[in-house]
Amino acid sequence: MAKKSTLLIVESPAKAKTIEHYLGKGYSVEASVGHLIDLPKSRIAIDVEHGFEPEYITVRGKASILKELEKKAAKADEVLLASDNDREGEAISYHLKCALESKKIPAKIERIIFNEITPTAIKAAVNAPRDIDMGKVNAQKARRVLDRIVGYNLSPILWKKVKNGLSAGRVQSVALRLICDREAEVEAFKAEEYWSLDVELKKGKGSFLAQLVPQGDEKIMFHTKAEVDAFMASLAGKKYVVTDVKTVDKVLNPRAPYTTSKLQQDAAIRLGFTSKKTMQLAQQLYEGISLGSNRVGLITYMRTDSTRISNQALADVRDYIGKNFPQALPDRFNNYSMGKRAQDAHEAIRPTYVKYTPESVKQYLTSDQLKLYTIIWERFVSSQMKDSILAVTTVDIECGGKPFRTVASVVKEKGFQAALKLLAIKEKAVHLPALASGDELEYCKYETEQHFTQGPSRYTDASIVKILEEKGIGRPSTYAPIITLLIERYYVARKNKQLIPTQLGKMINTILLESFPKILDVNFTAEMEQKLDDVEESKDNWSQMIGEFYKPFKEQVDDVMANLESVRGSMDELTEYKCDKCGRPMVKKLGRFGHFLACSGFPECKNTQSIPFCKCPVPGCDGHIVARKKHGGKGREFYGCTNYPKCSFISAYKPTKKICPDCGYFMVERYEKSRGSFYSCSNTECKNYVKEE
């Protein structure tokens, strides 16, 4: 493509490897591996007296990368900065440009952007370089400075008043508040028992179930099975007569192609992926997958709040639909509105080439990559197809003046559902015999089932991302890191996909909420996000925005530091365990990675150990079962005996103090979608299990 020497710098090595396939001689592609220039971790590094200017340094461990890029840039005729097209990416390019210019590099340094890693997109970007977008750079700087000021002022309060090693942040603390508020609602809710009622009716050879329905404003509520039995006894011998049969068309609209938040929500609900896992997989698909002889970026940029699709992509998908689902091709493309807060910097998440169907790339992807790519592909293709139409039949039935109803639906026109497999809408099929008003039905039996009223649900990855998006807290790039940070700090635990605040998380939330109600106010956080958007659009001055926030905040910090009562040590708990080094009692403490035992003789004795769950069940072994992790503490947690390797007993599931009545081994916590939460025996030869209360 070019005779001159051009150095193109991207963020990740995987992306560099893909792009190298698309550019001819004269181009070299290198990776910065994220930020090379950033704030130091050891101090606040913000000059609050002089316009809040940040003090940037070369990131520790990245000096050799920067030096190598400087060396290669010095030999190039042109340097193209191709970091991601968002605030962080713009800041990376800006800092790189400043670093290269400080070395008097003679090459022309320009910025290029692209939304997908394809030959067409890369070549178009290379041929249309531009200047750095200082609006984005200033917005990133403002966010970085704001978060640094909040974090580096709040965290020391927690160190002094609660315990060392804690942290607080502008956005993470608000997310923690949402989770704690929901937990309080869950704990306050009192479930009420009720029983549902279905009757099995028959006409000819066809039988079906009908449900008791409200009668006007009257809703019959059964609180016990005895009430159901008494109600059905009052209908004994009475006729069930069809009073009305209606069939109407129900239109199901296709859904817009994915934004970041919607992708994370669907991946959590449909695939069981955490937000972090979803974004890691999406990054891999975006940066490039080797498809035999060529390497292809399979999806467009995965951090976006837009549902917009390029004209070329629309033409391609309509062509694909016309060939494969001609009956579902609409006369014109489907257009989708965006949320009020959408920045529309990128297209929606879509496959770069619709011709790469999930089936055609299956052999080149891991199982999880394939699942995520499949829902992205299906969502995009279906978004440009016709509505699906169901014929819904509602049958009203009366017995003794009490109304019953049954509903059945059949697909009249598949429409967009023809393209769905993994995202297929699962509806329970109900087959009805031919029914007409006035028909008498044969009563077969009734079925009743116990239920309990459902209170508010705990947040999951999907629902917390949804609420963060709805309330304008954070941005597409921050949803997954927020959840990850709360879990890593042990403020929140994930159990059966639910996010539950820990005792430590509740304590931190209470302290911050009482001391800094404005910082933890959801609306205030959303307003700050809007101000960052204004900075990006050059509607606001970043240092002035920070200045308006800083003075009252710092006064509040000083007041809280001076007057807040310390609760250090309040969570420590003396145990019956003795230190195996000095014999003193062990104390249960809460650390960054959960609870552990520490010698009460600290600092003279610094012995620590994991908290035993129970005694080892192996006959003749006097060890205890404790939590362990594979791969040097970074792998998946499992549970093993303290006498390892002498005793090799292990369990993949968390032990409890419950003892199996059949064999004497301890019971473990289990969860399965079909069974819910339950306890099962840790003895692999014993099949005993008990439903969790």
pLDDT band at 1 (very low <50, low <70, confident <90, very high): very low
pLDDT of residue 636: 72
Name which residue leads in pLDDT, 438 or 686.
438
| DSSP annotation string for 491-534 | SEEEETTEEEE-HHHHHHHHHHHHH-TTTT-HHHHHHHHHHHHH
**Residue 423 pLDDT > 90:** yes
pLDDT above 90 as % of the chain? 71
pLDDT of residue 10: 96
Average model confidence (pLDDT) across the chain: 91
pLDDT of residue 564: 94
pLDDT band at 656 (very low <50, low <70, confident <90, very high): confident
Report which residue type is found at 96. L
- Which member of 22, 301, 373, 665 is catalytic? 301
Domain annotation for the chain: domains and CATH numbers: 6-132 (3.40.50.140), 141-189+457-563 (1.10.460.10), 193-253+388-452 (2.70.20.10), 264-383 (1.10.290.10), 573-691 (no CATH)
Helix axes 172-188, 503-515, angle to 10 degrees: 110
pLDDT of residue 55: 96
**DSSP at 215:** B
**DSSP at 164:** T
pLDDT band at 78 (very low <50, low <70, confident <90, very high): very high
Answer whether 0.75 is exceeded by the pTM.
yes
**DSSP at 42:** S
In 505-631, DSSP assigns E strands to 573-578, 585-591, 594-599, 608-609, 614-615, 624-629
**Residue 144 pLDDT > 90:** yes
Q: What is the pLDDT of residues 366-398, one digit of tens each?
A: 999 999 999 999 999 999 999 999 999 999 999
pLDDT band at 217 (very low <50, low <70, confident <90, very high): confident
pLDDT of residue 517: 95
End-to-end CA distance of the chain: 68
Nearest to 209 by CA among 401, 406, 398, 436: 406
Average pLDDT over residues 525-532: 92
Q: What is the pLDDT of residues 263-272, one digit of tens each?
A: 999 999 999 9
pLDDT band at 4 (very low <50, low <70, confident <90, very high): confident
301 in catalytic set: yes
**Residue 228 pLDDT > 90:** yes
pLDDT of residue 74: 95
pLDDT of residue 669: 86
Nearest to 431 by CA among 406, 448, 450, 413: 406
Token pair of 114 as six digits: 């692209």
pLDDT band at 341 (very low <50, low <70, confident <90, very high): low
DSSP SS3 for 490 = coil
State how far the Cα of 430 lies from the Cα of 407, in Å rounded to an integer: 8
pLDDT above 70 as % of the chain? 97
Q: Are strands 27-31 and 6-10 parallel, antiparallel or unpaired?
A: parallel
pLDDT of residue 633: 52
State how far the Cα of 304 lies from the Cα of 581, in Å rounded to an integer: 55
pLDDT of residue 96: 97
Nearest to 7 by CA among 79, 74, 66: 79
pLDDT of residue 158: 94
Q: Are strands 440-452 and 193-203 parallel, antiparallel or unpaired?
A: antiparallel
pLDDT of residue 638: 86
**Residue 593 pLDDT > 70:** no
Q: What is the pLDDT of residues 595-653, one digit of tens each?
A: 789 999 988 999 988 888 888 888 888 888 888 776 555 567 788 888 888 898 888 88
Q: What's the per-residue H, E or C state across 309-333?
A: CCHHHHHHHHHHHHHHCHHHCCCCC
Average pLDDT over residues 448-460: 92
The radius of gyration computed from the CA coordinates of the chain, to the nearest angstrom, equals 31
Lowest-confidence region among 85-99, 423-437, 463-477? 423-437
pLDDT band at 683 (very low <50, low <70, confident <90, very high): confident
pLDDT of residue 2: 44
**Residue 544 pLDDT > 70:** yes
Peptide bond into 456 cis (omega under 30): no
In 19-102, DSSP assigns E strands to 27-31, 37-38, 46-47, 53-54, 57-58, 78-81
Counts of helices then strands in the chain (DSSP H, E): 17, 30
Q: What is the pLDDT of residues 400-411, one digit of tens each?
A: 999 999 999 999
**DSSP at 258:** B
H helices of 325-471, in order, are: 358-361, 367-383, 461-470
Using CA atoms, how far residue 97 sits from 10, 114, 542, 651, in Å, is: 13, 18, 21, 53
CB-CB contact of 537 with 142 (8 Å): no
Tally of residues, the chain: 693
State how far the Cα of 540 lies from the Cα of 147, in Å rounded to an integer: 18
